[in-house]
Structure 1
């Protein structure tokens, strides 16, 4: 249908727009006085004069004006694409998706304003006054053609916009806070402007089913056991005010069958075993439950940091080990070849508070005190643990820079579960780092860091009755280690090339190195780099890792690199046998490597033992492939070639000459399956092996070491 010469009456202005324009007026002294004493309403000219007098001192008075407004249909819906013309003033403009238009730099004068909607007839308004230094806000209602019309309406002369369809909402001086309002009719308290709005947190969901029951529906009622829809236990609604609570529950089931080099010992589990190495088969099963209770105040968005937070995460673990040889589960032969153990630990228990807002774009500084998870770099090369400490952290320059200052007083770990105990370890760690985004290139983040560890001299037996501090090697004596780590790492992409790199220099001293049998200085290096390229659904990657080794065992300087507590996700991670498994060193009381670490640093235990800087070091060369077979299924293949940097420390410790450098070829494959495209159900499964080459054969045998594993994680 086409518009007529006489338009319907003006409807009430949109409440949201009017509230935004009228709320400042409620605090205006003249209006507040008018509501109480009810004097004669001031004229627009008198308000304009008063506003000019209140202009900010030394501010230049503008010689042009501004016209802005909103264009709606008779039902109050915004009209998109309406052409707005002010002939002789500025170029035509069109309304936005919200029906809003703006015209800038208009010379003072009286103009004819024309509106031409899509498929409608032009409507004009004469006598629109534009004043210098003012912003005029208007609201216009038009009658438009039926949206279902097929043919455009014929062109007719522009019709006059009735007074009931045109309203000046306000006039205000440009660039200052003074608002000059056009005369307003009395607004009763029960008018739409003052109607209370419903509480958005408790707004009920409509009982509406567009599809059959059981299909996807646009509105779903939440339940306490439903983590996907509105749930107060998942911080979808506040407990009170702006205080939210989030519950996260995890069930992690891990199982593994592996073959490791295992000495037969003084008493074998079966008769007629003359060989030095016994049967190395082991089966391990562990079930862990974690419950995270998170109470915080603030906003649930990812941009604004919380004002304060309290989080507690207890964990319970039960594990079972079945070995084929004695003295694997315990040094006591009579304990047999099986072990069932359990432990309950506290993995998180901290309070956090925002200290200050340091920028307009949610830059902040927070302090967190208590047991907390912390990873000091991108891949966990030096420190990754859940320990009690004090951490000051925040960001700068619109989150381009992030920083951390943290100090930790470490707890002892339960030997078989890896969970925290409630006993102090006697080991202090301090970390300071800064991350800079878009450093050198967009998409690349670099980090500069400093780590310090002090491991005090102490005596400790683990839960299986094995001495772990000091390590049962060399000259056994308690000793203290002070070590400083300076590092530069990076992660991200430069163009199409994905890049991760790290370099660390560690300096310090060991009061008594057990292998060197004297006080030693520490000077060791570490480097790693990973390059990858994405092609469709595949990622081709290659990486290199180097940890320096010590070639002069007794010279007073320890040159082998050793971390604090690493948890490495690099060169295949869990799909690498050498990284996944802890390989014991034959009858030496220490391990060649610890679980989740590539470093052959000859520790008694990564968690309970001390760093050892007299070690063989390593060169690692890697090639791998990641394939997103399906959106829910990822396939991983990985191959590593490894060799020792120096073997003198192994020769001294094992009293064996001529140990060669090559370790072996480590390969693995597996998949990661997320059936629901989220973290509620995750399944990991794979197999890895390590084919020994000359160096590993010199220490063990030529038998291939294998591991088959699976992990199932459920999360609420």
Structure 2
């Protein structure tokens, strides 16, 4: 059944009206803005992908690298405010490319850069909302809105901090960072696999495993490879070592010295002067054997126990041109041959206390032992018998010595210890203290107190050649005894490139008989010496100054000429200096010498090794320059130029009975 014509005529306009209304309604539906499509980042295989964008602009950060720099701006060239250490967890509230803004514990904010393209990035980023909001208990305020947020958008809730948000461990620039040592439960660490190699393998005898493997074949007379005889391996047990040292010391010396003619006769019957011919020569051969048995690992700490024995065999030949220069009997001629066996060291050293974890120690040493009182041997250097306590503190910065020694008489022609003679009645008490790195690193300061008591009152003591040594043929030639105390301060080291050494000593005491006044006399004398040097590549240039006071009046009851106990000065060229090396005689002034061999003081002693100290002497002053040339590792050329004066010549005038 069809509609009436009139109905069909109205139906078309109504359908058109409805269709147009529907199209208008669709056109008015608000469009949801779409984010612009961007190309997906291209990530190479094996590399880390960049983190996704966060919905609310907040990100959870956890540091994976050992350190991550926090910059003031989102550029790599900006200043670094702090460093985050591995394991730190925090929150970022803004992102610019690969840069994330964080807030430090001190209230500052900074930027960290996510390094893309590494298998293990420097920090992990979580863009999920649940991580960004954190956990309850936050003390942080709401972060600033993201840069791309709409102005009328609702603000996101304030982030809630994780419990360890504050553990950032950042440090200001310029201050060292402290390493984080994580807590480790040993029970949770799995044991190593038995199939994997271990870092340490127990060896029953680690000292001789090299021999068992055939790597090194030990030879007894090979000192350049591992050898039991030089302490490389224990001789028994695990920490008992033996050290054998053999030294051949050969000396030949030709010289010309002022030599007096013999008192009874002369080699030249036509001579009528008191000065004779002065050519002399000496040959000396010493074989030194050092035997040491010690307990302990001496690589990093002092030995716990040591036994030392050092014998010396000597052979010497001397030639002169005048009789009575070598022996008291002129019939002995002008040539002397002698030999001697001596014991220079024989002691036990026991470490009775370890004072710190740095192996500071306290030791006691008993027996015949070497000792030097200062850095350069200005006052006392000998091999006496005695008891010595010594040790260190504060990682060896403090060192001390407390000792008593009794001097051993010497063999006349070799200057070695003669244990066949009674000990001398000459006691030395020593107390000194060293401080390393005083004022500046590399300089050591020393304070010294030494007391010398001499009770040698025998009527006459003759040396091996028949000459009288004690008392000296000096003044009234009567025995005497004395007590003297030395107070000293010494320093040795360097200030920058300048090497320095210096010593000051004051001697005070009492002599019970002055050889000139025949009365007791007070001792008051002083001594100062210093040397400065500087290295220029293989050349060392040095300058030296020395002054020892002299006695201005031998009859006034005061002895003001300085004398040492037994000196061996390493100054002003030492034994390359003529004055120091040679014993210069005082001709026509008694049986004494101006200076002893290897001595710088004008002491007027009968013998430096066997005689008594003499504080009635002219003293000496010295100024010198010198240079050392290390032309090769084995060859050194030494040059010296020294100017000397006597501090006061009154004593010399009295002895020689002549004016100035």
TM over 0.5: yes
SS, match of residue 383 in structure 2? strand
Q: Give the alignment of 1:353-432 within 5 angstroms.
A: 353-422=350-419, 423-432=422-431
Q: Give the alignment of 1:94-109 within 5 angstroms.
A: 106=88
- What is the Cα deviation at residue 492 of structure 1? 0.8
Match of 1:235 among 220, 231, 246: 231
- What is the Cα deviation at residue 635 of structure 1? 1.2
- Residue 563 to residue 124, structure 1, CA distance change in 2 (3 Å): closer
SS, match of residue 411 in structure 1? coil
- What is the Cα deviation at residue 198 of structure 1? 5.8
Q: Does 1:247 find its partner at 2:244?
A: yes
Q: Does 1:638 find its partner at 2:640?
A: yes
Structure-2 separation of matches of 1:194 and 1:337: 70
Match of 2:652 among 625, 650, 653: 650
Q: For each residue in 1:615-637, what CA deviation from the matched residue of structure 2 results, as whole angstroms up to 9, or x when unmatched?
A: 00011011001111123321110
Match of 2:273 among 272, 275, 284: 275
Q: Which runs of 5+ in 2 are unaligned?
A: 1-43, 47-59, 68-83, 91-116, 125-179
> Is the contact made by 2:63 and 2:122 (CA closer than 8 Å) also made in structure 1?
no
Structure-2 separation of matches of 1:604 and 1:468: 6
Structure-2 separation of matches of 1:204 and 1:120: 47
Q: For each residue in 1:359-418, what CA deviation from the matched residue of structure 2 results, as whole angstroms up to 9, or x when unmatched?
A: 221111111111111111011000001111111111111111111111101111000001
- Residue 446 to residue 308, structure 1, CA distance change in 2 (3 Å): same
Q: Give the alignment of 1:454-473 within 5 angstroms.
A: 454-459=453-458, 460-473=461-474
Structure-1 separation of matches of 2:265 and 2:531: 46
Structure-2 separation of matches of 1:449 and 1:191: 57
Larger RCO, structure (CA 8 Å, separation 6 or more) = 1
Q: Does 1:339 find its partner at 2:336?
A: yes
SS, match of residue 651 in structure 1? helix
- What is the Cα deviation at residue 281 of structure 1? 1.1
> Is the contact made by 1:262 and 1:325 (CA closer than 8 Å) also made in structure 2?
yes
Structure-1 separation of matches of 2:253 and 2:404: 35
- Paired residue for 1:579? 580
- Paired residue for 2:554? 553
> Is the contact made by 2:210 and 2:216 (CA closer than 8 Å) also made in structure 1?
no
> Is the contact made by 1:515 and 1:653 (CA closer than 8 Å) also made in structure 2?
no
- What is the Cα deviation at residue 557 of structure 1? 0.6
Structure-1 separation of matches of 2:606 and 2:202: 68
Q: Does 1:203 find its partner at 2:229?
A: no
> For the pair shown, which has the larger CA radius of gyration, 1 or 2?
2
- Paired residue for 1:33? none
Structure-2 separation of matches of 1:185 and 1:624: 67
- Paired residue for 2:81? none
- What is the Cα deviation at residue 190 of structure 1? 12
- What is the Cα deviation at residue 93 of structure 1? 2.8
> Is the contact made by 2:617 and 2:651 (CA closer than 8 Å) also made in structure 1?
yes
Q: Give the alignment of 1:137-156 within 5 angstroms.
A: none
- Paired residue for 1:450? 449
- Paired residue for 1:181? 187
> Is the contact made by 2:61 and 2:89 (CA closer than 8 Å) also made in structure 1?
no
- Paired residue for 1:488? 489
Structure-2 separation of matches of 1:408 and 1:361: 30
- Residue 270 to residue 124, structure 1, CA distance change in 2 (3 Å): closer
Higher strand share: 1
- Residue 538 to residue 206, structure 1, CA distance change in 2 (3 Å): farther
> Is the contact made by 2:446 and 2:491 (CA closer than 8 Å) also made in structure 1?
yes
Structure-2 separation of matches of 1:103 and 1:203: 45
Q: For the aligned residues, what is the CA RMSD?
A: 2.9
- What is the Cα deviation at residue 104 of structure 1? 5.6
- Paired residue for 1:507? 508
- Paired residue for 2:177? none
- Paired residue for 2:566? 565
TM-score (ref. length: structure 2): 0.72
- Paired residue for 2:545? 544
- What is the Cα deviation at residue 305 of structure 1? 1.1
Structure-2 separation of matches of 1:600 and 1:640: 15
- What is the Cα deviation at residue 180 of structure 1? 3.8
- Residue 479 to residue 93, structure 1, CA distance change in 2 (3 Å): same
Structure-2 separation of matches of 1:90 and 1:320: 83
- Residue 91 to residue 495, structure 1, CA distance change in 2 (3 Å): farther
- Residue 186 to residue 323, structure 1, CA distance change in 2 (3 Å): closer
TM-score (ref. length: structure 1): 0.66
Structure-1 separation of matches of 2:581 and 2:362: 37
Match of 1:300 among 298, 301, 317: 298
Q: For each residue in 1:534-587, what CA deviation from the matched residue of structure 2 results, as whole angstroms up to 9, or x when unmatched?
A: 112111111100000000110001000000001111001011000000111114
Match of 2:65 among 57, 74, 92: 92
- What is the Cα deviation at residue 189 of structure 1? 12
